């Protein structure tokens, strides 16, 4: 029977258009899934960058608080080990006490003032280590603390300050400085 569609009519169609459309749907679905996966990964990376920045700012705040403790007070260090955030002069070959795996959870650190963030507060923790004394040679780089007068060729106490901060999501940052007074 002849129809306007050709000699064989509708019954003789092989369904090639259906297969092509289904293949296109599979390809589009795979592209959509890949783009969703990429967007989720980018969102995670952005969240991790923000968390790292917040933890870094908290650790920096702890570092500055510890520097103020050293600058303004007379600190008494234990003869060995650490107590209340103050650590004795480390032995040359010994590991630093703050390098122990659980030190920042149950160690002898001192807590700084909490730093407010959008997601709550971060409380930095710090330790101050006595590094003995050094002689100031009077060069421009020897006058680190601009809040005090730099007196050439004087003996100064040296302290290593280590500050730690962690966010609620578990991002941890440790920063360190040498401070002389």
Kindly report, residue by residue over 150-179, the tens digit of the pLDDT: 666 678 888 999 999 999 888 999 999 998
- pLDDT, mean of residues 64-69: 92
Question: In the structure encoding, which two tokens stand for residue 148, read together?
Answer: 């005090």
Map residue 79 onto helix, strand or coil: coil
Q: How do the domains of the chain map onto residue ranges?
A: 19-180
Q: Is the pTM of this model over 0.75?
A: no
* CA–CA distance, 167 with 45 (Å, rounded to integer): 15
The string of pLDDT tens digits covering residues 101-128 is 888 888 788 888 888 877 778 999 999 9
Burial class (CB in 10 A: 0-12, 13-18, 19+), 145: middle
């Amino acid at each position: 029977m002849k129809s306007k569609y050709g000699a064989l009519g509708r019954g003789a169609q092989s369904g090639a258009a259906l297969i092509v459309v289904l293949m296109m749907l599979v390809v589009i679905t795979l592209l959509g899934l890949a783009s969703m996966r990429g967007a989720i990964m980018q969102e995670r990376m952005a969240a991790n960058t923000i968390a790292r920045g917040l933890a870094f700012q908290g650790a920096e705040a702890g570092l500055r608080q510890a520097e103020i403790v050293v600058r303004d007070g007379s600190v008494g260090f234990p003869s060995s080990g650490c107590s209340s955030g103050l650590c004795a002069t480390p032995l040359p070959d010994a590991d630093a006490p703050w390098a122990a795996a659980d030190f920042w959870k149950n160690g002898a650190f001192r807590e700084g003032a909490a730093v407010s963030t959008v997601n709550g507060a971060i409380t930095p923790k710090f330790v101050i280590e006595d590094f003995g004394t050094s002689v100031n040679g009077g060069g421009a780089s020897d006058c680190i603390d601009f809040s005090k007068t730099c007196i050439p060729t004087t003996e100064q106490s040296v302290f290593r300050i280590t500050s730690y901060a962690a966010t609620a999501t578990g991002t941890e940052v440790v920063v360190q400085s040498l401070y002389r007074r």
